Amino acid sequence: MIWIYFNTELEFSKRLTGMNEFTEFAVFTAREAGQLLKSRLHAPHSIDYKGVVNLVTEADRMSEELILNRIQQHFPDHSVLTEESPEKERSSKYRWIIDPLDGTTNYAHGYPVFCVSIALEEQGILSGVVYNPMMDEMFYAEKGKGSWLNGQRISVSDTSDLSRSLLATGFPYDIRESDNNNLDYFNLMIKEAQAIRHAGAAALDMAYVAAGRFDGFWELKLMPWDTAAASLLIQEAGGIVTALSGEDFSMTAPHVLASNGGIHQQMLSALRKAR
């Protein structure tokens, strides 16, 4: 079993059972990367800018290097898509999709809301892991086997009224330059829902939908590493993930709408008003 490699994590492993080798590998790799991030949260950071407000820290790169090294050690023929490096295409039918630090802006400011996201794709997402190191919360799912949080089965909420729903959203990095910046959607939806939260880590927001903490989520201009693992978490927890238009979800489509299912059509109707 892969977890034997992580021989300092035996107590943690006892909580997480019944996984295939890929999910098990992703769980322990995400936890290792997350604990690295946690240990460096309040250290001085080296920050580079990929845009006006889009930044990357040395911690992003350290986490990514750790994950890539683990994949190279255990699955050297697998392809890899990750946020901070060029895609690595290899011979295997499997591809890992990685966000080594989702919530970089939060992290750079010492705001403790961020996560590690790791997914495995093979004609769809097979395994998905989102790890919140500050709360030691490991969300994970396998296709057809449900969603879990630290060994306990999770499911979406049963809220059926948008006006009583807690939603989450985020705003794109080009909000200063783009007309399509989600403000119109937000201004309308804040009047339709009970409340909206903007935490700054899309994968974690979506994991919270899977766990029933949020009833719905939408965001524009996301990337595959933001949504790959979390979309499986929501679907396996009984929720729905679509495009913002209501069409079938695709990781290559940047606009995402996710919910518990009970308020999905209400969210779609509300968003259409803003268009």
**Among candidates 227, 251, 242, which has minimal Cα distance to 272?**
242
| CA atoms of 150 and 140, how far apart (whole Å) | 8
> Is 179 assigned to a binding site?
no
CATH code of the domain made up of 162-274 = 3.40.190.80
Write the pLDDT tens digit of every residue in 16-69.
667 899 999 999 999 999 999 999 999 878 877 665 566 788 999 999 999 999
Range 2-154 classified under CATH 3.30.540.10: yes
Residue numbers of the chain with a pLDDT score lower than 70: 1-17, 49-54, 173-180, 275
DSSP state of 245: T
pLDDT per residue as tens digits for the range 133-148: 999 999 999 999 999 9
24 known member of a binding site:
no
pTM over 0.95: no
101 is an annotated ligand-binding site residue: yes
CB-based contact 56:50 (threshold 8 Å): yes
CA distances from 74 to 42, 119, 125, 163 (A): 31, 15, 19, 48
So where are the chain's domains? Answer: 2-154, 162-274
